[in-house]
Amino acid sequence: MVALTKRITALKQNAGHYLVRSLAVIVLLLVWHFLVIKNTNWPLQFGNLPQPIDVLTVWYQKLFEAAYYRDIAASTLRVLAGVVLGIVSGVPLGLWIGLSRTKISEALFTNLELFRPIPLIAYLPIAMILFSTIESSIIFITFIGAFFPIFINTMDAVKRVPSSFVDVSKCLGCGPIRSIWRIYLPAVLPQMFTGLSVGIGASWMGVITAEMMSGQKGIGYATWYAYNLMDYNLSIIGMFTIGILGFTSVVLIRSIERYIIKWK
């Protein structure tokens, strides 16, 4: 009986969340529609935008076109590749620099900090010079977007692990390698997932920028191509598609986090 009550309460809470989010989107569309039909040109020129109903009509038609899904697949695979590379390199490097007290780790961290503030779009010319294919340069941009949030959050989380945990593990016979798996990794997982959520959003921003500048397929390329043709309906569709893909990616990451980190 208690379990059933908790289940009903959880369903009510989820229904409330979905209702609030649905109403937020409806309000956004209504405000957008009102600003366009009133030809509002201050403080921004909203009158130049197409009406929401026109965008939704064209979007509905795009849902039946294979090219639309090919662009989504191309961008998604690029982001996925960049995020996987960011995890594979960012987590071990964050653990090592967070645990290490050597001059080598300090020097490496200093060099990484020099690159971290650079906007993703500024990496594009160098990426196109360094890599032999456009595809490789785009994936590199998505990797950079994912790497730094994952790396920084992992490194900071390692430094925040209480020393008492490490001391107890040593008393129980836990060696340096085993302590990484049994002490540090469980401790850094929550903050690491936070970095992953931020990183995947940055990867989406990076892949769109790279596709606009050098891609021949993908949502970013389709959005920029539509803008050049002054097809603003398709430009807005591309923009919202990117937003939905990014939002869905973060929701997926948070779901995985809740499944793995059951103690959080």
Nearest to 86 by CA among 147, 155, 136: 147
Which amino acid, 35? L
Q: What's the fold here for domain 50-260?
A: MetI-like fold (1.10.3720)
Q: Which two tokens stand for residue 126?
A: 């160098």
- How far apart are the C-alpha atoms of 51 and 36, rounded to whole Å? 6
In a structure prediction context, what are the per-residue pLDDT tens digits for the chain, which is 264 residues long? Answer: 556 566 666 666 777 778 888 899 999 999 999 999 999 888 889 889 999 999 999 999 999 999 999 999 999 999 999 999 999 999 999 999 988 888 888 899 999 999 999 999 999 999 989 998 999 999 999 999 999 999 999 999 998 887 777 667 777 667 667 777 778 888 889 999 999 999 999 999 999 989 988 778 999 999 999 999 999 999 999 999 999 999 999 999 999 998 888 765
> Full-prediction pTM beyond 0.85?
yes
Percentages helix, strand, coil for the chain (3-state, rounded to 5) are 85, 0, 15
Domain ranges of the chain: 1-49, 50-260
Q: Are 145 and 119 in contact (CB under 8 A)?
A: no
Nearest to 51 by CA among 224, 236, 219: 236
